[in-house]
Chains A and B, each alone.
Chain A
Amino acid sequence: EAGVAQSPRYKIIEKRQSVAFWCNPISGHATLYWYQQILGQGPKLLIQFQNNGVVDDSQLPKDRFSAERLKGVDSTLKIQPAKLEDSAVYLCASSLASGRAWSYNEQFFGPGTRLTVL
């Protein structure tokens, strides 16, 4: 079974530039998550999708971050414009969860995209 795919693996940009990350979840997984992981910390949820609808985006800095999952499969996360504090690893995860008790479901993570903002 193929895992969660993410690209690119690494990205270096200057502040105020734009960047986009792509994620393809495990086939059949209804729920998709984007996390931000700053060095030395645990993952922080940015946005959760159920199929192509947003379930939770309370911690997404909406003035600069946006995400979409148009066909309920793959997803993109964009930052525009980037700030120095956006330097982090951006992790995508997916789970089978299709009901409301999604916290019970095992999440499968991709390898992440390491973003450096100079």
Chain B
Amino acid sequence: SQQGEEDPQALSIQEGENATMNCSYKTSINNLQWYRQNSGRGLVHLILIRSNEREKHSGRLRVTLDTSKKSSSLLITASRAADTASYFCATGSGNTPLVFGKGTRLSVIA
């Protein structure tokens, strides 16, 4: 079963705009990760946020986590055409495997 559920399913923006994707989950977690998948490729790890963290930054990425609402958001600032990809959240709880959501398909138009 897939725990994380991304929203929206698809997003189309102009280059230079910010892109925001959300992830909601159902059970308690101890970490949440975001991955990117370019068309026809494997997934690439972007960022991990632990359950005791509220916000984390990495370059143009900003991730927030609200454990009371069981939700996370991924913000990509000043988007580029190269950011076009599918973005997945994955939830982790200790020694159980990561569970991936269905993903958000982001299209950045030049």
Contact = CB atoms under 8 A, between A and B. Distances in A.
Nearest to A9: B40
Contacts of B35: 109
Interface in B12-51: 30-31, 33, 35, 40-45, 48, 50
Contacts of B92: 103-104
A54 B90 CA distance: 21
Q: Which of B2, B43, B44, B50 has the most chain A CB atoms inside 10 A of its CB? A: B43
A111 B42 CA distance: 4
Contacts of B100: 42-44
A104 B31 contact: yes
A103 B96 contact: yes
Contacts of B4: 42
B61 interface: no
Which DSSP category, helix, strand, loop or mixed, fits chain B's interface? strand
Contacts of A42: 2, 4, 88, 90, 100-103
A91 B88 CA distance: 15
B45 A106 contact: yes
A109 B44 contact: yes
Given A91-B42, A107-B45, A109-B42, A100 B95 contact: yes
30 contacts: A4-B42, A40-B102, A41-B2, A42-B4, A42-B90, A42-B100, A42-B102, A43-B43, A43-B88, A44-B2, A55-B97, A91-B42, A93-B43, A100-B94, A100-B95, A101-B30, A101-B95, A102-B95, A103-B95, A103-B96, A103-B97, A104-B92, A107-B43, A108-B45, A109-B42, A109-B43, A109-B44, A110-B42, A111-B40, A111-B42
